[in-house]
Structure 1
């Protein structure tokens, strides 16, 4: 699968959105499938400058969501551990 850098994607999108060229012509000229270009256009319209964060990178809002999910999972694990420890101490007091 061929990978395209952010600049390439943005330029292709701008040919359609700013210069008014048709998706089919731009896609054919640059050697990609029309659906790929439509996907890039949708991503660009939705996320603007963060549309194409690059391989292995996340958009800022996605990175924040990932961190929050990890924090929730950590807190849930700590909570379960505390419940077990509390149960153990409750047994020892009897």
Structure 2
């Protein structure tokens, strides 16, 4: 079964790597997360800080507006 991680855990893990300077391998071990997954989180965070981790209970504002409009169309 595939594990899912909430947005807060992802952001916390990325902050520990970026702000505290810990190695990805070390943080991944501490959180029991695969190194590659954490590496992907850091990469995604670097690409789009404001819209990071969409799909984990967070929707980009533009996508939310589009979804809301779609719901109104019969």
TM-score (norm 2): 0.74
For residues 62-77 of structure 1, what are the structure 2 equivalents within 5 Å? 63=63
For residues 1-16 of structure 1, what are the structure 2 equivalents within 5 Å? 1-16=2-17
Which structure has the highest helix share of the two? 1
User: Structure 1: which 5+ runs fail to align?
Assistant: 68-94
How many equivalent residue pairs? 64
The residue that corresponds to 2:72 in the other structure is: none
For residues 33-72 of structure 1, what are the structure 2 equivalents within 5 Å? 33-55=34-56, 58-60=59-61, 63=63
The residue that corresponds to 1:86 in the other structure is: none
Higher relative contact order (CA 8 A, sep 6+): 2
| CA-based RMSD | 2.0
Q: Which runs of 4+ in 1 moved over 6 A?
A: none
Structure number with greater Rg is: 1
Q: How far has the Cα of 1:60 moved from its partner?
A: 4.4
User: Structure 2: which 5+ runs fail to align?
Assistant: 67-74
TM-score (norm 1): 0.59
